[in-house]
Structure 1
Amino acid sequence: MPYIKLPELEEMDPEIQKLAREILEKTGKLGDIFKLLAIRKDIYFMTDNCVKTLLLNETELPYSTKERIALLVSQANNCPMCVDVHKNIAKMLGMSEEQIEETLKGIDHINTTEEEKELLRFCLRAASKDNYKITKEDLDKVLNLGYTTSQVFEAVTIAAYFNYINTLSNVFGLGK
């Protein structure tokens, strides 16, 4: 149970209510993170834009890489609600149950290239509290694997986004 009272549909901004009704038609329920974000229209739409840009739109990274980052960072941040949500999103975006379970066992268990594993390790470091210790050499190591600056920037932005959303979920007791 969340630590605060989350807004009900009729308490939300009319623009957000419209989106909420669409979600309710498709899924039958609104998630706690949706309700939390609905507290502030500006923050809701900023976050919604991040989700669309980083996770739902086709970008330079494959959906599987993006969802692996989501799962790994959310797991590292001890955010079970986000892990559960992204297990379902990963399935919706084409990942198999086996790929999801491999990811949750840790990077060394993922059946992927060594290059992607290194990118995922880099993202976990980027999402950690001691990310200030990352050096130019660390970044160059990932770039020398064949990733472009733009791809690494995207991957780190996804990791940072999950620090943001995991923080909201954890601080406000969502999914508990």
Structure 2
Amino acid sequence: MAHINLPEFEQMSPAIQEKARPILEKTGKLGEIFKLLAIDENIYNATDVMVQNYLLKQTHLPYFIKEAIALLISKENSCKMCVDVHKNIAKMLGIDEEQIASILEGIDAMDTEERVKELLRFCIRASRKDNYKITKEDIEHLKNLGWSDKEIVEAVAITGYFNYINTLSNVFGLGEEA
């Protein structure tokens, strides 16, 4: 149960209600993170732009890597709600239960190319408070493995997004039982 009162559909601004209506019609409910963001239309809109551009659009990185980042960073940040949500999203994107389980066991348990593992390790390092210790050589290492500047920037942006959304979820107790 959230640590603050979350608005119900009727309490949301008309603009956010328009975004919420298709979700309600499809699923019958709004998640706690949606309700939390709906408290402030500016925060909702800024977050929605990130979700649309980082996670939903076809971009430089495949969906498998984006969801691996989502799961790994959310696990790293102890955000159970986000892990659970992204396990379901990963399934919808065609990632099977075994792959999801291996991601959650950790990068070394994953059956994927070493270059992908190196990018994911980099993302975990980027998610930590001492990310200022990342060097040009660390980035050059990724580039030598074949990752482009755009792919590296996108991976770090997705990492930053999950630090952001995990912080909101954790601070306000989303997904916790009453």
Shared fold, TM over 0.5? yes
Unpaired stretches in structure 1, ≥5 consecutive residues:
none
Within the alignment, does 1:142 sit opposite 2:165 as a pair? Answer: no
Tell me what 1:163 maps to. Answer: 163
Letter in 2 for 1:47: T
Matched residues in 2 for 1:27 and 1:88: separation? 13
Within the alignment, does 1:101 sit opposite 2:92 as a pair? Answer: no
Matched residues in 1 for 2:74 and 2:172: separation? 15
Secondary structure of 1:7's counterpart equals coil
Aligned residues: 176
Letter in 2 for 1:114: E
Tell me what 2:81 maps to. Answer: 81
Tell me what 1:118 maps to. Answer: 118
1:115-151 residue CA offsets vs partner (Å, 9 max, x unmatched): 0000000000001111011111111111110000010
Within the alignment, does 1:46 sit opposite 2:50 as a pair? Answer: no
Tell me what 2:10 maps to. Answer: 10
Matched residues in 2 for 1:61 and 1:30: separation? 28
Q: Post-superposition shift, 1:93? A: 1.4
Residue identity over aligned pairs, in percent, reads 64
Displaced runs of 4+ in structure 1, greater than 3 A?
Answer: none
Q: TM-score, normalised by structure 1?
A: 0.99
Matched residues in 1 for 2:127 and 2:9: separation? 33
Unpaired stretches in structure 2, ≥5 consecutive residues:
none
Q: TM-score, normalised by structure 2?
A: 0.97
Tell me what 1:56 maps to. Answer: 56
